[in-house]
């Protein structure tokens, strides 16, 4: 039931755009200011992993 509800409208209210949303995260992570960050897994899923 939860899957079917998310198919029609994801929790964040819209589906992500690769260039404008995912791409911006990639650009930020490639920035030298992030040199101290390591060993992290970032999940960009727009709230689809929310548990009821």
Mean pLDDT computed over 15-28: 84
In this prediction, residue 52 carries a pLDDT of 55
Residue 12, C-beta contacts closer than 8 angstroms, at least 6 positions apart: 46, 47
Residue 14 lies in a domain: yes
Residue 13 lies in a domain: yes
Range of the domain at 10: 1-32
Radius of gyration of the CA atoms of the chain, in A: 14
Please tell me the total count of domains within the chain.
Answer: 1
Residue 23 lies in a domain: yes
The structure tokens listed for 19 are 């260039």
| Global pTM value | 0.52
Three-class SS state of 13: coil
C-beta atoms surrounding 37 within 10 Å: 9
In this prediction, residue 44 carries a pLDDT of 79
Residue 12 lies in a domain: yes
């Amino acid at each position: 039931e939860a899957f079917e509800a998310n198919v029609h409208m994801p929790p964040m209210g819209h589906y992500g755009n690769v260039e404008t949303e995912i791409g911006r995260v990639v650009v930020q992570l490639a920035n030298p200011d992030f040199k101290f960050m390591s060993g992290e897994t970032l999940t960009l899923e727009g709230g689809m992993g929310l548990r009821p």
